[in-house]
Structure formats: structure tokens, C-alpha cells
Chains A and B, each alone.
Chain A
């Protein structure tokens, strides 16, 4: 590969920070629709609305870790994942890859860095070109980037397919000729073919039936050890995240509300939102049991409640919660939580 000079060396101490987010935010402007524009011209008090999809997030992911990112729809998981994968720039804040600010990299180094972080999506079908054969879907990028050669191409593609649990005999087929689980394997083979060391999985098993989901999760775990991968694993499914992750990050309306080692999150959740979320998850062990209830709806991200975003739904909300934003603080070793209750007593 060319121009690797300014990129950080690949050999890094185990456990050193691979991805560091410092005060990362991402805003989207919601453009006015036609009626809104007319109303505005006529003097109505309408304005373009801004969604704080990700709001001032600090997060460190160390080499070899699997960090689970959970939260309900619209809380900013995918947006955070895209920024980490380098396919969407933050509005504010800094992202360090192996200690280096990605904005400071040369063009070539930035390109290589982008290859080294790959993203796997929920709907493999939408992310696979329907008119390309599997062999080309998997082999095109490695060829373009000089990871394989014309002569080594066929063998390289076969190896990638086999590793993802696909029979290379089917490499001349098109995506629609595969089942959902196999398509996800194609997506995985494509991502791994460019030799990444960091993978962002965005709801990668959400669309699959449980039996197929188990197969794909097992594949992710096997590849992690085989290839020494680091994962940011985004999922709304707490059971999946609990099984796979070393550490869990919980988001609510753009903010990280809690972060802790997996065992701690599930045995001693600190943040009232984490507690509510855990209580709401149906568990196969709980028979004919009253479902726990968190009150209220998820507020619109366009107009989140002031102070602590969770206060309208929180059973412990105090006056202070309505006006003052709680900050993430360490509440136990490795456990950070953003809740005013931790200041009391």
C-alpha cells in the first residue's frame, strides 16, 4: 500500500485507545417544507429546526474491546456510528484514531484510515449493489486498494467468502439469490476483505430470525478473536448487547447517560433510564409476569425536554432536573452516569 507514512503504525499495545471521541456533536437542520416556507415569508414565527442527533459525546474504545451502544430509536446511535466509521463528519468535537486527530491526516492517510474502519448495516440488501456478483462485491475494494492483485483475486475472494461462512461456489450469484442471513454474511465478507481493525455494526442482526441471528453473532465473535478486531456494536436489543459486549454505553436523545462494564450495567444500573430500559425488556425467564412500565413517550429529538432529557419520564425527577443538565461522572470504577441523584446525600 502507498502513503502509509503519516498513518499511525498498525502494531499497537493491547488496550490502548483505538477510537477517542472528545465532545463530539452532530446537528441536522430540518429544512422547512413548502408550507413552512410560505408561512415564514408571511411573517409566521416558524424557523428551521435543528436536531441535536448527537450531543457532546466523550467516548473511548480500546483495542480489542467490544463496546455495545444501546438506546431507543432516534437517540443518535447510527449517527454516532457513522461518525466513528468516518463516513460522516462531526459538527463539533474531535475524533482521534489511534491517538491521531483524523482531520490532521493527509489525504492518502485519511483514505487508508477509512478502510481500516468498516461498517456493517442492518439491511444488507440495501447496502449491496443488486447488479453486482458476490465475487465483485467482496473483491472490488481490495483490488482497487491494492490489497489483492489480479492474479490473486479469485483465491482472495474465495478466502473471504469462506471466512464469512459462504460457499465460494456461489460467488457468481447476485445478492437477491441469497437469504437474509447469507446476505449479511456477504456484507461481513465485503467489510473484512479490506482488512479493517475496527468494525461498527449498526443493528447488524436486527432483521434476522433468532436462529440465524445466533449464527451471525457467533460469526462476529469468532472473527473478533481470529482477526483481532475491535467492535462498536450498535443494537436496540439489550440481550444481544449483554451477550457480546465488554462495555455498554447507553444513549438517550443524543446524550450518553451511562457507560459501564457489561456486568455492572446489568447488575447495578445507575441511571434511572438504564434501570427503566432493563425493566422493560421481556425475558424468557419471566413467566406470566406483569410487564414493568416506564411512563410517557420518547420525546421528539427536535424539541427535547430541558435539563435532564429524561425528566418527564423519570420516577425520581426533582426540580433541579428540569433546568440543569446532569454531567457524566464516575460513580463506581469504570462506571459513569449522568444523573443528579448521584450528587445528593
Chain B
């Protein structure tokens, strides 16, 4: 079998701040196979974006990847030159941000930006590049692409800008797209349109996707696998349906339980008490301990991540919904 599109092994990305070391990403491992969608979920500050930036090699000081491997089609990205990385980025690996203006240049017309992006990695004529731009705009559901090519970003709505940013990410048919909450700021009908297009793309092009979001409902509809992050670590991962139907980690269960539609209308929502800890000076032991209904003496030690069921991993001493527990 061919190497997976992406294999992240024991990734550590830390920020060396004046106040101390922030372990934003700590011992994170996951695999994304060709044509598959991995949903990376967690609450704010859990390390999702830093994970994404680490993969595309854009962690800025005081942050640094301090350990682990990022294998892209078998090649370790930590070991390649900055020049090789630049060539991969925007070509074989693309990133989409929550704010499309991270991708778009406000003072350039859309056609200029798209043609330049095409020609940056491919020796083609301007006309061929323009044709490619037109095609990708069509792919993300932009009507009258010729007209849109002549416009500037500020002439578009937020949803349209995000589509253009997605089209730019698709220009070179990348093998991997890292999408960091690209629909979070959009209205629900516009989000629905974009999710539908992305779904189609993943099914037809073989592109692998990492879809970062805080919204479990989006992951439910879009992803094949899900990895749940808490305080810089993955606490659970596995196939979406299995994880959402029978979570192993108490935090995953808490997240699912607090989704309003999972509760009886008008009844108090199941809630996770307390709040996420600061990543600066995390106390030893399980980071979820102070909020966990299952916490016990043993949780003063740090749980490692392990495969509890086939294809299902969790970082917990007392996982839920295991066959043993369900039998009891």
C-alpha cells in the first residue's frame, strides 16, 4: 500500500514565552490516508491551529517544533530545506484559514492573484493559468467566474471571499489541505454551500483534508475520522461514527453531551464543570482531571494514548463504553 498522505508522529510544538513554556502541541500523532477527511476538534486554545501551522511549517517564534516527525507521503517535513518546504506549500500542501484575507491580497485583482499562484509552481502560459483559475472558481460553486476574476476581494461578501481562498488552495490539486475553521465566521446557509462543495471535492479528487473546527456537528457530516484535542494533546481518535456514538474519553463524552440537540428541550444541558486549564504550568497527571467525573487517584499520573479497541485510541485510565464496561 502507498504511504498515507500524512503521518504525524509524536509532534511537539512549544512556545518559549517569558512567562514559561507553553506546550501548545504535545505528543500529537495521527494519520490521514489519501482522499480521507480528518476532523480535528477541540475548544479554543487546545492546540488545533498550532498543529495545522506545524504541518505547513509556519510556526513563528517564540514557537518551535521541538520534537516528532511530520511525514508527508513518507518524507519528513522537519528534515527538508526551507526552499523545498516553500515549494510544497501552496502546491502539494495548502492551508485555508478562518479569515480568507490571510490568503487574499486586498490590493490585487483576483485574476492576478490566481494566475501568479499558478505560475509560481507551474510553467504555463498566462492564458492557461487563467483557464485554470476559471475552472477552480467553478469547482467551488462561484457563478460567472469570468466576472469574479476581474474583481478585488473587497467587492465580495465574506462567503464569496472564502470560496475564492478555497479555490486558490485548489489551484494545484494539492494532496493535502489543512483547513482551519474556514466556515466558522459564515452564515449557516453559506457554510452549508461550502461544506457541500468540499465534500464533493474530497470524494472526487483524492485530496486529503484536515478540517479543524470546534463544531462536532460539522465533523459528523464531513469527516471520516476524528481526533479530539484537549490542552495540547489528542485525547481520543477514531472513526467519526464510532467516536460520536460511543466515546471512550470522558471529555469527548462531555463535549457531545453539551450539544443542545443531544438534550431534551428545556432541560438543563449536561455540562462539563470548570474550564480549560492554562497550558502554562499544566499540573502533572491527566489534564482533564479537575473536570472529570471519573477521575480517581490513578489520574494523578499521566495517561498515555493507547488503542483500546480496533482503530480507537484514547488517553485515559478509565475509558468509557468499553466492551467490559458495557457488559457490566
Instruction: Return 21 A-B CB contacts under 8 Å, by A number.
Output: A211-B254, A212-B275, A214-B269, A214-B271, A218-B269, A221-B266, A239-B261, A242-B265, A282-B191, A282-B217, A283-B220, A284-B217, A285-B220, A286-B221, A287-B241, A288-B222, A288-B223, A288-B240, A291-B193, A291-B222, A298-B187
A243 touches B265 (CB 8 A): yes
B188 touches A210 (CB 8 A): no
B192 in the interface (beta carbon within 8 A): yes
CA distance A236 to B185 in the complex (A): 11
A276 / chain B contacts, CB cutoff of 8 Å:
189
Top-4 shortest CB links A-B? A280-B192, A214-B258, A243-B260, A209-B43
B160 in the interface (beta carbon within 8 A): yes
Given A210-B43, A210-B255, CB of A297 within 8 Å of CB of B190? yes
B221 touches A297 (CB 8 A): no
Nearest chain A CB to B230 CB, angstrom units: 10
Q: How many residues of B contact A (CB 8 A)?
A: 47
A217 in the interface (beta carbon within 8 A): yes
Q: How many residues of A contact B (CB 8 A)?
A: 45
Nearest chain B CB to A316 CB, angstrom units: 16
A106 in the interface (beta carbon within 8 A): no
Nearest chain B CB to A60 CB, angstrom units: 21
B263 / chain A contacts, CB cutoff of 8 Å:
243
The residue in chain B whose Cβ has the minimal distance to the Cβ of A241 is B260
Nearest chain A CB to B308 CB, angstrom units: 21
A298 touches B193 (CB 8 A): no
Known contacts A215-B273, A283-B220, A288-B224; 20 further A-B pairs (Cβ under 8 A): A179-B275, A209-B44, A210-B259, A211-B271, A213-B258, A214-B269, A214-B271, A215-B271, A236-B188, A280-B192, A281-B192, A282-B221, A288-B223, A290-B199, A291-B192, A291-B193, A291-B199, A291-B221, A291-B222, A297-B159
CA distance A263 to B217 in the complex (A): 21
CA distance A277 to B218 in the complex (A): 15
B215 in the interface (beta carbon within 8 A): yes
Partner of B157, one of A214, A283, A294, A298: A298
Partner of B192, one of A73, A212, A293: A293
A262 in the interface (beta carbon within 8 A): yes
Chain B interface helix/strand/loop/mixed = helix
Contact with B along A242-259 (1 / 0, CB 8 A): 111000000000000000
Partner of A282, one of B159, B215, B224, B255: B215
A72 touches B189 (CB 8 A): yes
A239 touches B259 (CB 8 A): yes
B188 touches A72 (CB 8 A): yes
Contact with B along A118-155 (1 / 0, CB 8 A): 00000000000000000000000000000000000000
- Residue with the greatest number of chain A CB neighbours at <10 A, chosen from B223, B262, B269: B269
Nearest chain A CB to B179 CB, angstrom units: 15
Contact with B along A263-307 (1 / 0, CB 8 A): 100000000000011011111111111111111011000000000
Nearest chain A CB to B170 CB, angstrom units: 18
B300 / chain A contacts, CB cutoff of 8 Å:
none
B221 touches A242 (CB 8 A): no
Given A72-B188, A298-B187, CB of A242 within 8 Å of CB of B254? no
Nearest chain B CB to A246 CB, angstrom units: 8
A326 in the interface (beta carbon within 8 A): no
